[in-house]
Structure 1
């Protein structure tokens, strides 16, 4: 036998063969996913029956809807005893559900602020946009505050100058080798806001008045209030959560102890307790005569509450990183902050994306708790609408509308998180190479 004639590598290409019958297509997917066993088949049949029962029960109610009615009694007259939804309450009160008691003639201001919100988020959330657009993202919070609450434009300008003062003091302290640079920056900003801001706003307003009609916080309500509290809490809790997570893993005992104490205390207290603290008790710790806006107090408490949970989510991402990543950052000669910014945090945040977005969604839904401290969120406004004699007895239509709007926002955040995970995914490159 001639061993040299044995070929271990095929010399010709195998001709393609047709797909085996019964594989692929809709029926094959149904068989594999819905009827691949007696348990799966039983659950599929039960689910189909439940869905069919729900559709048959709800479809006549939705199909026989009334949109043009000024009261519940008018709806019932139009329906004439037949089951049907009275969406006239949404048509009649949708502006109140969206804006609360915000002046009707000024609706353009929160609408403009909402549109500009997407312009401010675009360079942060999506690639391909010029980095110069981040300047607008930084300016947007002050602009939105001015649009919604009105007053003098110089107030948010002066607040931004306080951040500039803090940055300048921090840079000077670092370059001079003076310790406690962060403390100097915080104290400098606080002194600016307490003493320089009132005088600067007064002088600038008298010199160049740029004013909008003021709107009090009591006039804000509905989804406008939920978006203001939710977006503010989300935007502020992420950086605070990162700092707390790093502080909890710090090698400095004092910083670690303070971070652990804050996180465990906040996580051990219900959010409603913090909201009552913001509403009733916080003024007792302020100097007499101090006016501290209720919505601002709520935003602070919601931010602190969310940042404690965010810190634990991010700490989980930091703990999931292999030790070699920290050693690699040290081998590159990076100091602590450069290592965190360039190596550690990008990977930890990518790992933590599902948990971060889950916390954001929970925070946005928890904004409905402000109804217990007298703020008119959508749920509180629904109760007020139902107390009106025209709509007394209406129930499902209001809460379906409110739930649908919340679902749109929460589902949008969920879909973006999935898009971000796919965009940052790198393991598929290794799969392709393999």
Structure 2
């Protein structure tokens, strides 16, 4: 009897996984029905969601979009349950742009918002051409010209002052260190700004839009202005405060500690009252400091104190070996922080920074307590104060909540994407 052996020449095709281990069934088992407790909670959640949808759907489906008052909505509904969305159709301009912003200039803040997306992209996303950073640099001055109006020479002079301050900072840092460079940069920027103020005033008709006073700013536009500017300014200021708190120089460290602890111990609404009443006394007698500028200063200082503590936690989380590695490479303090320490600390601090940014954006609604008609201020004041719309609450406040949710959810999703992009550790 001969021994016959056989070797297979082709691979056996893989068998499909069981139905419960693939596709939608697997996802349901792992996320919704992984145990008897989770199964009960899932069933209860689905039940309550269905009840809420059944109860709210007629309110949306029967909504009235045409009408000039609440009485028109009541007449159109004829006793049925429904929302009075006519208030949104009639007052959308006040909700978005405020009460007094010129209606023929709505395209200007809208264009500024549209330009924000491509101009901020080089900072937020990798892989874009570095030349696009020029758009990021130019955007604040273009947006100021579009929203506030006036001659284009004012933002041009501001841009020249910024560039002069930047190069003065670099030259001062080369010669005598960071502090002298910072002082030189500020002095250069102030000199150019003061000289440019007289120039732009003399040429007020050159490429000028209709000027809009800050007291006429309002609606969701004001919330976007305050949120964007304050978040952009508070991050670098928070980094400087965090580094100052860890400084070996007692005076700088003491100033940073006192500032951070004082600001974190005071409610934001108190600082807004200070911005409205007290802050003007800290400027020269003939200085007419804009209210929005004063509010921006206070909100920026408030959020910078919280961001400083978040970044300080990121710095403390780094192992000591990172600092020693920077010393072994012969790097000075600024080089070590810029190239080694801060990139790692900021990556660790992303969730905390985003949390502060989201809270800051929502806190911009507090400016309504100092008579600034932002989105909430416009709703609580002129819109609901009108006799035509007395008793309409859910529609306008729901619209405000939707706007804030879209912006805050977008910030949150971007932060999660950024964390995934910066995840350099290897996990099995």
Q: Under a length normalisation based on structure 2, what TM-score does the superposition of the two structures give? A: 0.92
Question: Pick from 75, 78, 97: which aligns with 1:77?
Answer: 75
Aligned pair partner of 2:239 in 223, 229, 242: 242
Q: What is the match of residue 316 of structure 1?
A: 313
Q: Which moved more, 1:215-224 or 1:284-293?
A: 284-293
Match of 1:43 in 2: 41
Q: How many equivalent residue pairs?
A: 417
Q: Distance in 2 between matches of 1:169 and 1:116?
A: 30
1:66-105 paired onto structure 2 within 5 Å = 66-100=64-98, 101-105=100-104
Aligned to 2:105: 106
Describe the shift of the 1:244–1:79 C-alpha distance in structure 2 as closer, same or farther (beyond 3 A): same
CA distance in 2, matches of 1:292, 1:32: 58
Q: In the TM superposition, what whole-angstrom CA distance separates every residue of 1:30-50 from its partner, at most 9, and x where no partner exists? A: 344333333223322221221
Q: Are 1:358 and 2:355 matched, yes or no?
A: yes
Matched, 1:190 2:190: yes
Q: Deviations over 1:58-95 (max 9, x none)?
A: 11111111111221111111111111011111111111
Is 2:120 the partner of 1:121? yes
What CA distance in whole angstroms lies between the structure 2 residues aligned with 1:312 and 1:387?
Answer: 41
Structure 2 distance, partners of 1:266, 1:97, is 31
Give the TM-score normalised by structure 1: 0.90
Alignment pair present for 1:372 and 2:366? no
Q: What are the within-5 Å matches in structure 2 for residues 144-223 of structure 1?
A: 144-177=143-176, 180-193=180-193, 195-203=194-202, 205=203, 209-223=206-220
What is the alpha-carbon distance in structure 1 between the residues aligned to residue 74 and residue 135 of structure 2? 51
Please list the CA deviations of residues 182-216 of structure 1 after superposition, one character each: whole Å capped at 9, or x if unmatched: 333333433443x423323234x17x823111101
Counterpart-to-counterpart distance in 2, 1:316 and 1:176: 32
For residues 355-391 of structure 1, what are the alpha-carbon distances to aligned partners after superposition, in whole Å with 9 as ceiling and x for unaligned? 1111111111111000000100111111221111211
Cross-structure match for 1:3 = none
Worse-matched range after superposition: 255-264 or 280-289: 280-289
- Structure 2, gaps ≥5 residues long: 1-9
Q: For each residue in 1:291-323, what CA deviation from the matched residue of structure 2 results, as whole angstroms up to 9, or x when unmatched?
A: 110011111111111111111111111111122
The aligned counterpart of 2:7 is none
> Aligned partners of 1:27 and 1:123: how far apart in 2?
41
Q: Once the 2 structures are TM-superposed, how far is the Cα of residue 139 of structure 1 from its aligned partner?
A: 1.3
Measure the CA separation in 2 of the matches of 1:406 and 1:293: 26
SS in structure 2 at match of 1:180? helix
Deviation at 1:177, TM superposition (A): 4.2
In the TM superposition, residue 279 of structure 1 has moved relative to its aligned partner by 0.5
Distance 2:375 2:405 in 1: 14
In structure 2, relative to structure 1, the CA distance for the partners of 1:118 and 1:36 (3 Å cut) is closer
Whether the 8 Å CA contact 2:19–2:25 is kept in 1: the answer is no
